[in-house]
Amino acid sequence: MPELPEVETIRRSLQPLLAGRVIKSILVRETRLRRPVNVQRLRKWIQGHAITALNRRGKYLLWEMDNGSRLLIHLGMSGRLGYCAGQEAMEPHTHVCLCLDNGAQVRYRDPRRFGCVQAVAPNERCGLLQGLGPEPLSVEFTADYLYDGLRGSRRSVKAALMDSRIVVGVGNIYANEALFHCGIAPQRPAGALSREEWKRVTESVIRVLRQAIRKGGTTLNDFRNGLGEPGFFQADLAVYDQENRPCRRCGRPIRRMVLQGRSAFYCPACQK
Ligand SMILES: [Zn+2]
């Protein structure tokens, strides 16, 4: 599932190609995504308008249009957004094609259909964007914010980091990696961490996300950027999906356990 570095990688790969382009037409081949695609709204607000910028909020891509509306895209579990010249054959599971004024297309593919493609009208309050926590690469994401907000919380520090109401964009890969690099055990109750430990956690989350963006994201199964290129952060994974492999720091085997229904990977010796 794409997390913040993957969505940011797609944004950076598409932004220079899309800024200033007009979306001439929109072809919707399948409306049954997690939220049904509202074709009329796409035609009304997005079609015929120019893209001024590509932004990101958490794992949402926000295409800013010159009429003040926005095209909101979430990739769900398996979504891909690919730029192509326009003549290529349509791959299976291509649900939406955005045809640009230069003949190119941006195609949204999503075998599992957990994603979302929708128009947000100017000044419309979009429910999907309400209640989201701060961006982890913003000044709001601090040790004090987490320490104060999670005081008394009994759920695990890993589950807290993966909660988009607390901080956006951190999923299973980067929560596991960040906790390894700061030496904090994933099952520790969030409310039991000291301010100093939260400082280590925030610094580690920021470092891991920045490094993953530099490497173009993590390609485990099928992640590709907007130009079809894979990421390279998978070579840097210290614990995620590394069960029984030797810890990079101490050589003991990496362990896996299930926390709140998700796999936690950790070194029992290096993480306390
Ligand atoms: Zn270790």
pLDDT in tens, 66-89: 999 999 999 999 999 999 998 899
Confidence grade of residue 221 (pLDDT, cut at 50, 70, 90): confident
Rounded to two decimals, the pTM is 0.97
Of 11, 59, 70, 224, which one is the catalytic site residue?
59
CATH code, 4-129: 3.20.190.10
Q: Among residues 149, 151, 158, 154, which one has the least CA distance to residue 178? A: 158
CATH code, 143-266: 1.10.8.50
Q: What is the 186 CA–ligand 1 centroid distance (Å)?
A: 14
Active-site residue 262, yes or no? yes
Helix (H, G, I), strand (E, B) or coil at 3: coil
The count of C-alpha atoms lying within 13 angstroms of the C-alpha of 85, restricted to the half-sphere facing its C-beta, is 3
Q: What is the 179 CA–ligand 1 centroid distance (Å)?
A: 12
Q: Where are the domains of the chain?
A: 4-129, 143-266
**pLDDT confidence of residue 101:** 98
Active-site residue 59, yes or no? yes
**pLDDT confidence of residue 134:** 98
Confidence grade of residue 1 (pLDDT, cut at 50, 70, 90): confident
Q: What is the 265 CA–ligand 1 centroid distance (Å)?
A: 11
pLDDT tens-digit map of 160-204: 999 999 999 999 999 999 999 999 999 999 999 999 999 999 999
CA angle at 196 for the pair 193 and 197, rounded to the nearest 5°: 45
Q: What is the 88 CA–ligand 1 centroid distance (Å)?
A: 48
